[in-house]
Chain A
Amino acid sequence: MFAFILRRLLTLIPMLLGVTFLVFVLMSLAPGDFLTPIKMQRDVPAELIAELEREFGLDRPWYVQYGYWLGNVLQLNLGYSWSFKVPVTDLIGSRLFATFLLSLTSLLFAWCIAIPLGVLAAIYKDSIFDRVSSFLAYAALSIPEFFLALLAVWFAAVTGLFPIGGATSIEHDFLSAGGRIADRLYHLVLPTIVLGIGGIAGLMRIMRANFLDAIRSDYVQTARAKGVPEGWVMFKHVLRNAINPLVSAFGFSFSSLLSGALIVEIVMNYPGLGTLIYHSLLREDQFVVLAAIMLSCTMLVLGNLLADICLAWSDPRIRLESRD
């Protein structure tokens, strides 16, 4: 088990190296740097610009800059944000948390909707309900995320029922502890729905198929033959077995949510990692981009690892091996 986890974590290293290297090359190829907007201001003397370029090593070739950066990362120093003027680690913490929270709630949302729907669709197979729900799942799968986010903003703007953007409201700091949690949840509602909807369709279809498989399996037939009540059969035997494969989907869907959050965050103005990356990319704030991309890659690998562990934990027949 530990050997397996260790091996998985070791594969992270070359991957992160490769990814950061690629990003570094790409960003150094991109025109301009974070000083470009400063050059446009009418009262910035040329001496200052030269000074800043020296200070940030922008006059060095990119591979030298990469070397410096790598050395710093090994000492757990993720660098310095040029546009925010603070260490990157300070910047990323709260953003990472916000994105993490959003991903978790959307996952929860997707599960809460998809599992009952999938089960019902399987029980009432080929009924109107089955057809309607599968059509809705289709629709959900086909709506562009950004369009849905746009519609959500529109909904919030027109009805005034939900806040437009942000993770907390203006008076957040002056609320009681319970009020603050409620406030946070209230701001999470729309982004959660928008981000979660895309995941429902896939989960629901898997759930439905699994449930149907389970219904036809031998042990269910046996249980029925023994005269166990139908409801109990469905819950105790069928549902539990049908959920198993979904557990493995957990890790994977988590990592995909994390990157899917990017567009939703930008359109809905949610202060998470996605907005940070987007704005940093536009501002060419190299170290922030590097750190954020590194984090999301790590998240991806950890998500997959989590999925494998979950699967092994829920189904002892599966042993952890380094699969090809």
Chain B
Amino acid sequence: MNVTIVDYQSGNISSVINSFTEVAKGKVNIEVTSDIKKIKSSDKIVLPGQGSFKSCVDSLNSINGLVNTLKEFAITNKKPLLGICVGLQMFADIGYEEAETRGLGWITGKVSKIDNQKGKFKLPHIGWNEIEIQKESKIFKDIKNKSHMYFVHSYEFIPEDKAVISAITDYSSKIVCAVEKDNLFGTQFHPEKSDKIGLKIIDNFLKL
């Protein structure tokens, strides 16, 4: 099996590479590339994302043919794709970080700044928080409800169809922290930084 981590200059993806390599341990081939041909021929895709919504979308768009290739992979061919952090946020139609920016539009919804109740909650939301599982998700196999995951973000994905939400977390309000829609998976938290439990989520994705 070939799994591609999309490298589109979206900031620091070393931790994503390290953790997937650790879990794959030679059984699964992990590619790190933005090469369209390689992406097309892979079995699964990981779409990381760091920095702002706008900078990530701009970086994706700057690589000729990448957005269409990802769309063909995930939407037309319905092959498994995991978005992490801003990688998940970009599933939305629109984001408001830095400037109003169009997202990939794969799951109807928007990405807005977390309402921190006038400074009552510090932003970014950094650290370990419990996830509250909302529905059975293939990537949550053997993951206990209320497990701790590592977060670092100031914006949240608000999908229109609540049925896509697979987990939420509590920070000033109930924030969407994982989604599953058919073959599309996304986590707002960083499984690659969430210790053994996070590696288990990666393992679940690789075993899909």
- Tell whether A pairs with B: no
Binding site for B on A (CB under 8 A): none
